[in-house]
Structure 1
Amino acid sequence: MEELLFEILTPLNFTVRVTQAYWDIITTIKHPIILNCEAEVCQTLAQPDEIRRSKSDRDVYLFYRARNQKRWVCAVTRRLNGEGFLITTYPTEAIKEGEKLWQK
């Protein structure tokens, strides 16, 4: 069994998990800029400013939390059979289009 790095309950009432091994892929290959930002990503999932559903995949949710005036942290998750997992996470300057499901 892979080591679980974190599992967070979201405002949409499903949990999102990520293993240490997958977090290492995100922070070394996909988005190295998010290295050492585990706490900020957990906060984005647990207490987002906004949650949107992906326009291209109904099982994908984008969690946004303001980082500063013009930057957001985006945590991209997938929910399958009630289970949620982190696809990727990154800083961004814009919230993507998509159905707004939840707002603070």
Structure 2
Amino acid sequence: MTGKENTVKDVLQFPDEIRRSRNDSSVYLFYKLEHSGRWICVVVKRMNNNGFIITAYPTDKIKEGDKIWNK
């Protein structure tokens, strides 16, 4: 997602949905609807009260996981 830094920041600040990973309870997936049927997902890991971005990608489907926040 080169050149999409502002989009990633927007997803983190104003997500439509946040889910906790089924595989790692310290990983959160932030989703924001970009346009009809397309989402941006930003994957964040929290460790020692800090968080860092693992990856970000466009997707057409929200992954399963514990829904922890919904707009």
- TM-score between both structures, scaled by the size of structure 2: 0.98
Q: How does 1:56-95 map to 2 (within 5 A)?
A: 56-95=23-62
Looking at structure 2, the residues matched to 65 and 95 of structure 1 have their Cα atoms a distance apart, in angstroms, of 10
Any runs of at least 4 consecutive aligned residues in structure 1 with deviations exceeding 2 A, and if so which? none
Structure with the greater relative contact order (CA < 8 A, sep ≥ 6): 1 or 2?
A: 2
DSSP-derived class of the 1:95 partner: coil
- Distance in structure 2 (CA, Å) of the matches to 1:66 and 1:39: 15
More helix by share: 1
Percent identical across equivalent pairs? 51
- The RMSD of aligned alpha carbons is 0.4
Q: Quote the residue 2:67 is aligned against.
A: 100
The runs of 5 or more residues in structure 1 that have no matched partner are 1-33
Which structure's CA Rg is the greater one? 1
**Equivalent residue number for residue 17 of structure 1:** none
Query: Which segments of 5 or more consecutive residues in structure 2 lack a partner in the other structure?
Result: none
Higher-strand-fraction structure: 2
Cα shift at 1:89:
0.3
1:84 positional shift: 0.3
